[in-house]
Structure 1
């Protein structure tokens, strides 16, 4: 447990920061992040090297140590506040990392072990930190909601289950309007692309919309559209071997945008924000989507399928149209584990970003920096749309077979459905999960984007 106190309990070992050149207690081990205990005094010190080099960038490594302590300590927060490290910043990073590490995510192991150690953080003016602690806990809760959905296995997390879980959680909030569309309602809207992906499934598709109105006097509205493929087999262009493992994470975009709205509603920014979750799985049966098939989207454009494994852009396209025409979005931001090509470009370090608007990109970049999430902008250029516009029988093909700039051509496909709205796309295929661990990436950035609206 992580606890905050204004005075020491004096029941546990008090832990303080020390630096090179300080009047160090005898026998202090001068090794970075090493804790030397003096049990006769119920005190301990953690060595942090040269004081003038210990800055915000150093904090991540320190906090990794603090949230993994093997015994209960009372942390003297003031001793860590040097250079540009404020109490607010320190607590933000500590709570965020602690909540991430200790999240109760889906797990059916029979030999789970619970650690019982506590960390008491002692600071003489907790009122100063109160609002920051509340904010970071709201964000951490939202991130962990997304992570729990991400990691839930696909035999549990099917499209119908996912829609109900989102409705059950975000529907608690009176600040949010939640609507879940069934297959019949999706058919009435002529969402041919979403329905085409769903053809191979034993579960119905779902389209979930969530709305938050924080500025009723403004017509500006940002809507996040999340890819919700609860499992991606690739369809008839089936994935092989290990490439199908981990495809439960293909619904990460939907989980993330729902979680962002969950936090936004509690933090009450003066902004109008929505989310659209386009949900189905991509399986194979006798009636599944076929290469060479042609389908009409909700906005009327027709698409020739040349790769059934490029299904994410199809469900997003119909989701974008719904966001623009039914939720009156003036800005659309898609969030999706969209392309393997983004891993080639940016690895698992950066989320790839695309935008038709320099202003919208700048706002995303600022929000990402404020929340310590790494985003890198890639270009949108007509050269990357030439192939997808060369269908003999339809307006578009869903995949560029040249093999060049796959992430860009996917973003250019989505751009075709942006209509008059400002458009941005976040490709999280490399950052949504790392080594089978769900990351809940970009939740904080999307929330901060809304909070930055004045």
Structure 2
């Protein structure tokens, strides 16, 4: 993994290129003082380049700065009604691609802060690191693999009060190092092809990556045990049961933090390593990119996805019921579940709360966090019609798993699966009117990580980290406030 380091000066000889991400030349006034040479280099270049502020990236030579060259990546306008912090992430990605063209090895990344987007520095750096990711298959086939950079410097630029309160000085590199590690693991699994990341090899990878860590791992892979305790998951795995590397596995990961525990998350992620469509075979181009149908578990569904998750969700529900000492429990499912959510929200995930979760405005708060960190989340509400849709049409069954048509041809095609999971798991008995209400949120993430075959950008992983982990660490003390 590429090493990151925080710096507060730009005259270090260890950096061979300076990368500046900014919304425009006018913001360069923030560089006055000890960063004046960088400001002058860009301002002089702007006199011969009239499109410098239009969202492009440029390589600017300069003898006045130690690195002798500077990459300027513009976000374009950030002041419009519908501009958001993702412009910084895109500018970071563009800067990373330009950096790779230079042959440099040790960049110094400077992102000019803005009051409007306090997470601009984080998003810019994540975009830059995204461009430097090398897929697992490529890393494994190169005998002496070398990362695309030796060292990345992060200039912690503090000129705005909001930034000062957002990430304490001297800790941004630590936070980004952790984000880079989690993103790489997520991409390794999520982007891996169906052979390299078959169920058995996902298990091998997880055991290797979390070896000697504080995470407790339990793998259930016995076919008879899965059939007995997870019958719906076993049904999904039937066609693969005779192929050792492709039959189902259930991976339990448990992490118990240090200090006071204020929240307990029970998360079920869908991990279908290749979605062929099952009995309703995906034909034409419909199977293209279906190796990413496991991204819900990587961040941590089609008809088969909701079945695969229902058993584990049921067990999680029972764990919550039994674990009366669990502080502030919250159940979640995360899945690349429906094409409907892609048509509905495009680049956004959809969050659906049950009654207890909605009572505390969980999805709304997650939406606010997503806006701050550039991984948008839309809130979808559940109605009685969604539950009625999954009522069985025959007397011999209680639930109908899905209709005959795909989600994209079904009214409320991504809300229905959430209702099905609530009913199938028994969470329908854990609502606000029950003796023991349990918060539950379903996240349908569609294709928010990016479409195959491009390298994925894990989402809504950053939003979940920012919402559940960041406020509890040394990095930040902040609160997302609902706008009434």
Q: Check whether TM > 0.5.
A: yes
Cα distance between partner residues in 2 of 1:321 and 1:425: 14
TM-score by length of 1: 0.74
1:431 maps to 448
Q: Contact 2:233–2:311 at 8 Å: present in 1 too?
A: yes
2:220 maps to 181
2:264 maps to 221
Q: CA deviation at 1:93?
A: 2.7
Q: 1:317 aligns with which of 310, 319, 326?
A: 310
Q: Does 1:200 align with 2:202?
A: no
Cα distance between partner residues in 1 of 2:237 and 2:304: 10
Q: Does 1:131 align with 2:151?
A: no
Give the direction of change, closer, same or farther, for the CA distance of 1:29–1:342 in structure 2 (3 Å limit): same
Q: Does 1:96 align with 2:126?
A: yes
Give the direction of change, closer, same or farther, for the CA distance of 1:50–1:230 in structure 2 (3 Å limit): closer
Q: Which runs of 5+ in 2 are unaligned?
A: 30-39, 159-166, 431-437, 473-484
TM-score by length of 2: 0.70
In terms of fraction of residues, the more strand-rich structure is 1
Deviation track 1:376-422 (CA, whole Å, cap 9, x = no partner) reads: 11121121222321232111111034722221111110111225221
1:422 maps to 439
| Counterpart mapping for 1:28-427 below 5 A | 28-32=48-52, 33=56, 35=58, 37=60, 39-41=62-64, 46=72, 57=85, 59-67=88-96, 68-69=98-99, 70-71=101-102, 72=104, 77=110, 81=112, 83-84=114-115, 89=119, 91-108=121-138, 129-174=169-214, 176-184=215-223, 186-187=225-226, 190-201=229-240, 202=243, 203-214=246-257, 221-257=264-300, 310-326=303-319, 328=323, 330-347=329-346, 349-356=347-354, 357-358=357-358, 359=360, 360-392=362-394, 393-401=396-404, 403-416=410-423, 417=425, 418=427, 419-420=429-430, 421-427=438-444
Deviation track 1:325-370 (CA, whole Å, cap 9, x = no partner) reads: 24647321100011111122112x1111111122222342233234
**213-222 vs 383-392, which moves further:** 213-222
Q: Which runs of 5+ in 1 are unaligned?
A: 258-277, 279-308
The Cα RMSD (Å) is: 3.9
Cα distance between partner residues in 2 of 1:50 and 1:399: 45
Q: Contact 2:73–2:91 at 8 Å: present in 1 too?
A: no
Cα distance between partner residues in 2 of 1:227 and 1:432: 15
Give the direction of change, closer, same or farther, for the CA distance of 1:323–1:164 in structure 2 (3 Å limit): farther
Secondary structure of 1:434's match? coil
Give the direction of change, closer, same or farther, for the CA distance of 1:383–1:325 in structure 2 (3 Å limit): same
Cα distance between partner residues in 2 of 1:217 and 1:52: 40
Query: What is the count of residue pairs matched by the alignment?
Result: 398
Give the direction of change, closer, same or farther, for the CA distance of 1:215–1:408 in structure 2 (3 Å limit): same
Q: Contact 1:353–1:375 at 8 Å: present in 2 too?
A: yes
Give the direction of change, closer, same or farther, for the CA distance of 1:204–1:83 in structure 2 (3 Å limit): closer
Give the direction of change, closer, same or farther, for the CA distance of 1:121–1:219 in structure 2 (3 Å limit): closer
